[in-house]
Amino acid sequence: MAGRINSAALPPESSYRIPENLPEHPGTFIITQGDQTNHGAISGIAALHEIYRNDYARLEAAYDLRERRRIEREAELKANPPVPQDVVLHYWKVQPERPRRGYDRKEEGQP
């Protein structure tokens, strides 16, 4: 649903508005709010972008392998579904049963 938001219809101060001055190069980012000189705050995201720039081919190959194995596993399960097992349910009452009203009185000889 969020992908269908029209950024042009949002007010300029909205945090969901897509900035017009986005970087052209992949793996880059800009800071639109907060202290831009606080390098400790952006070191994590900068490191993540560095990993993607340096190891993109390896990450893409690992992702493709995971997806291929997932699809193969789904096809295997569809072709040979597991045999349903009998299920044994063990249950107990959470609270002990309270005696019914008047039950105790009758025992004691009260009307």
Number of domains in the chain: 1
Q: For the whole model, what pTM was predicted?
A: 0.46
Beta strands in the chain (DSSP E): none
The Cα-based distances of 32 to 16, 40, 45, 53 in angstroms read 12, 16, 14, 22
Q: What is the pLDDT of residues 48-93, one digit of tens each?
A: 888 888 888 999 999 999 999 999 999 999 999 999 999 988 888 7
* Longest distance between any two alpha carbons in the chain, whole Å: 92
Domain span holding position 94: 2-107
Please write the tens of the pLDDT for every residue from 4-50. 656 677 777 777 777 677 666 666 677 777 888 888 888 888 888 88
Q: What is the dihedral of CA 41, 42, 43, 46, to 10 degrees?
A: 170
